[in-house]
Structure 1
Amino acid sequence: MVLETKELKMKRCLEGVGLRCFLKDGTMAALQAQKFLLIFDFDETIINENSDDSIIQAAPGKQLPESIRQTFREGFYNEYMQRVLKYMGDQGVKMSDFKAVYEKIPLSPGMSDLFQFLSKHQEHFEIILISDANMFGIECALKSAGVYTLFRKIFSNPSSFDKKGYFTLGPYHSHSCQRCPANMCKHKILTEYLTERSQEGVRFERVFYIGDGANDFCPSTAMKSSDVAFPRKGYPMHQLILEIQKNQPGTYQATIVPWDSAVEVCCYLQEVLKKKC
């Protein structure tokens, strides 16, 4: 008996994306569409870098002065990035410079395979993105990767270019969550979205969340045992889940499927669809 390697198993999963159901008499039946909500983070999830760090490549000398870096305060990263962007504007960095950086940021391992799978099975998934980056950067990166139209909605910090050509950034909202940065609580965004869709008559069979950061842990606590959290292995979201499972057993409800490559997420979703037959 020949055992499959992890790589061969992943390849076989990807090759099996065409799903068919057969009745007892051998005739093929259509696979009934099932709606799942799939939520993506952006930085170090869809892309393999922190985009706020990446854009520093467009700054003079590809670095920030110490006077700017010393203004960072934990929990107020959005305000810090506002100062960073003003400095870069003062140095003559233009929209085209930022755009070029965002378009070149590489996708995380296996992410292109996952997007290919999702594009073939869009009828089963409602896909949204919740990110503490900014709208301009996310749209540039997703359009460059050819996957922008997969997303029903993108939640991120508002950004634009003012009359002087400066890249401006604002907070997404205000909230009372003690775990999250002052400008965004993803838990609040997710629960409000679920309520909104419910009022519109849409109820999801299951919720899937793909993330990496500490701010992705907070929304994952709103998920049920039938839902699935996909934390990137070894990143803060994964570490926080492991901590709460150890220190407060039973309080974290979602099923956990850690990933190194998004192909692992793809294979899991593949099996979910197969079980619908």
Structure 2
Amino acid sequence: MKTLMVFDFDHTVVDDNSDTWVIKCLPGQTLPDSVKNSYRKGYWTEFMGSVMNYIGDQKVSPETVRSVMVTIPFTAGMTDLLTFILDNKSTIDCIVISDSNTVFIDWILHASGLQAAVDQVFTNPAKFNEVGYMEVQCYHSHDCAHCPVNLCKRRVLEGYLSEQFDRGVEYERVLYAGDGGNDLCPTSCLRGRDVVMPRRGFILEKLLAKLEDDASLSAKVIAWSSGTDILQELKASMQE
């Protein structure tokens, strides 16, 4: 029986938001109000399309975007955690479920040399078109009223667990590490022996605290401040 480690990406694996970090590639490192004000709640991917269109309009090359993106810092202790996962692939599967995009996450993981620690990344598809503009699409459509229109992380996690079960892979324990409001929904499909790990001081921790006596949450809650905290819990859970 394996352990499954599930990560959010922004403010979890990396210590910032990759979608806002990209703005550093602009000459003035800022967006005009016309782009900033185009955001509609729940439609972040659509907004990122506008951001990347603006970056393309400023003639910022894909190579320049990449050179900026790979400077985003990993959260403290996270490279040690990913290295441990990489060294224990026979007993740990690892996935990322993120509202970022395939291009950013692929660049950042490859730059770290730790991309092999992650078995699959579930995020919004992105690519550079023939004129050098990055296009971002929604990951999927869904009918969950609690999640952004482009991504329900619970649906992704349930789908992954079901596919793995069909392949004969069952997990002794699932550890889910995240920080944001969109990390709350997938916690409802975790079991009593699973662990949800909210980042200390971030919104997920506050939302989980409100669910303390709620039957929709079965998993144990353990807050984390660094990748070292998650690593300690991962090691402990493997020894139980």
TM range (shorter): over 0.9
1:84 to 34, 46, 51: 51
Q: Is the counterpart of residue 111 in structure 1 residue 78 in structure 2?
A: yes
2:170 is matched with which residue? 203
The 5 A counterparts of 1:15-26 are none
Q: Is the counterpart of residue 179 in structure 1 residue 146 in structure 2?
A: yes
One-letter identity of the residue aligned with 1:225 = G
Per the TM alignment, residue 60 of structure 1 is displaced from its structure 2 partner at its CA by 2.7
1:40 and 1:249 map into 2 onto residues whose CA distance is 23
1:47 is matched with which residue? 14
2:48 and 2:83 map into 1 onto residues whose CA distance is 33
1:222 and 1:39 map into 2 onto residues whose CA distance is 13
Length-normalised TM-score, structure 2: 0.97
1:251 and 1:199 map into 2 onto residues whose CA distance is 25
Per the TM alignment, residue 116 of structure 1 is displaced from its structure 2 partner at its CA by 2.3
RMSD: 1.1
Per the TM alignment, residue 93 of structure 1 is displaced from its structure 2 partner at its CA by 1.2
Per the TM alignment, residue 123 of structure 1 is displaced from its structure 2 partner at its CA by 1.3
**Cα shift readout 1:114-145 (whole Å, capped 9, x = no counterpart):** 12222222211011111110001001100111
For structure 1, the residue ranges without an aligned partner over 5 or more in a row are 1-33
1:255 is matched with which residue? 220
The 5 A counterparts of 1:1-277 are 34-245=1-212, 248-275=213-240
One-letter identity of the residue aligned with 1:251 = S
> Stretches of 4+ moved more than 4 A in 1?
none
**Cα shift readout 1:73-123 (whole Å, capped 9, x = no counterpart):** 110111011011101101101111111122110100111221222222221
SS in 1 for 2:9: coil
SS in 1 for 2:5: strand
Identity fraction in percent: 35
Aligned length: 240
For structure 2, the residue ranges without an aligned partner over 5 or more in a row are none
Per the TM alignment, residue 197 of structure 1 is displaced from its structure 2 partner at its CA by 1.1
1:242 and 1:155 map into 2 onto residues whose CA distance is 27
CA contact (8 A) 2:86 2:116 kept: no
Per the TM alignment, residue 59 of structure 1 is displaced from its structure 2 partner at its CA by 1.5
CA contact (8 A) 2:85 2:94 kept: no
Select the structure that is richer in strand: 2
Larger radius of gyration: 1
